[in-house]
Chain A
Amino acid sequence: MKKFYNDIADALNMLSSLERDLNIHNFSPNELKVFHTIVSSEVNSGIKSNITDVVESSGLSRSTVYKTLRKLSNQGIIALDQSPDDKREYLITFS
């Protein structure tokens, strides 16, 4: 079984380095949830999500999503661009 566990450890090492390079290794549960929601929504719909989409899909409160997005934006992981259609809304893009 030692070889099997070593193989699993190699896979975990690979995932850990991916996580480190993506700069998501220090995410709090809320940040992980928001990040996961943005990725899933962009993959499924193929369009950039806005803050309202993230609030609806994540089930988190609007203020939590705002705070989390600001934090992710300050860390340079995402960028918040004003929507050309609705000046009150922000579109989320990956930096």
Chain B
Amino acid sequence: MKNLFTISLTSFVFSSALWIIWFFFVVQIEGNPNWIGSLFYLPHAARVLCVVYFGWKAVPALFLAELWGPDFSIFDLESLINVIPALISVLSVPLALQTLDWFGFPLGNTSASPLNKRNYKHIALITMISAIYNSLFVNLMLTKFSMSSQEIGIDQIVRFFVGDMLGTAIVLLILAMMLNPLFNSQKVN
């Protein structure tokens, strides 16, 4: 249970911040068409980064942020069944890591590790597999329990997949640019 509080707080704040930024852009483009926001789904980056770097300990905080994120209130839940898509979305990343582990690619942080958390290409692979799981299982759930007002087709599954990939890529790129002064100061020192 070491560092659980720190990890939970970091994951919750990071995920919530991405939810707020994502909502800001969705409001700015006036949601026209209404699915446009799902094409650059920034919160997926928080799921990937927190689970990859902090492990299972980040899952409860990410789940809480996932419940809070869409409406900025966790008290509006009409039914417990509504929390399952959020849970699936968060669990898509541990599931992707577990799948890679089953195929002989456990996660490590050295160049000898089959899956290296310091290598952004490996992070991209984890993002891709988790995006596949997220798009498939969430849409399956929405269809199974008739939770969507619109008909769910292959286009929505592809859109979820592309949105998760693109959203994570944008966050990584912006973080890399924002942290540029830090990297440069490390080189000087």
Among the listed A7, A24, A43, A44, which residue makes an inter-chain contact with B176, where contact means beta carbons less than 8 Å apart? A24
A10 x B3 contact (CB < 8 A) = no
B7-45 contact mask (Cβ, 8 Å, vs A): 1 or 0: 100000000000000000100010000000000100000
Q: Are B120 and A8 in contact (CB under 8 A)?
A: no
Is the beta-carbon distance between A25 and B180 smaller than 8 angstroms? yes
Chain B residues closer than 8 Å to A35, beta-carbon distance:
177
The B interface is mostly helix, strand or loop, or mixed, namely helix
Pick from B25, B54, B170, B179: contact of A12, CB below 8 A: B179
Given the contacts A4-B6, A14-B123, A44-B29, A25 and B184 also touching, CB distance less than 8 Å: yes
Smallest beta-carbon distance A93→chain B, Å: 17
* Inter-chain contact A25/B54, CB cutoff 8 Å: no
Cα–Cα, bound, A22→B25 (Å) = 25
| A19 interface contact, C-beta 8 A | yes
- Chain B residues contacting A15 (CB-CB under 8 Å) are 120, 172, 175-176, 179, 183
Question: Taking the nearest CB of chain B, how far is it from the CB of A32, in angstroms?
Answer: 6
B2 adjacent to chain A (CB < 8 Å): yes
Asked if B117 and A32 make an inter-chain contact with CB atoms under 8 angstroms apart, the answer reads: no
Number of A-B contacts (CB under 8 A): 72
Distance from B176 Cβ to chain A, minimum over Cβ atoms (Å): 4
Q: B98 at interface (Cβ–Cβ under 8 A)?
A: no
- Contact yes or no, B7 A4, CB < 8 A: yes
The answer to whether residues A10 and B180 also contact, given A3-B2, A15-B172 and a CB cut-off of 8 A, is no
> With an 8 A cutoff between CB atoms, is B81 at the interface?
no
The answer to whether B176 and A18 touch across the interface, beta carbons within 8 angstroms, is: yes
Q: How far is the CA of A22 from the CA of B124 in the complex (A)?
A: 15
Within 8 A of B (CB), among A3-60: 3-4, 6-8, 10-19, 21-22, 24-25, 27, 32, 35-36, 39, 43-44
Whether A10 and B177, one on each chain, are in contact in the complex, defined by CB atoms closer than 8 angstroms, is no
- Given the known interface contacts A25-B180, A32-B180, the answer about A39 and B173 at a Cβ–Cβ threshold of 8 Å is yes
Q: How far is the CA of A11 from the CA of B2 in the complex (A)?
A: 19
Interface residues of A (CB under 8 A from B): 1, 3-4, 6-8, 10-19, 21-22, 24-25, 27, 32, 35-36, 39, 43-44
User: What 3 A-B pairs are tightest by C-beta distance, nearest first?
Assistant: A19-B176, A18-B120, A13-B118
Interface residues of B (CB under 8 A from A): 2-3, 6-7, 25, 29, 40, 49, 53-54, 109, 117-120, 123, 166, 170, 172-177, 179-180, 182-184
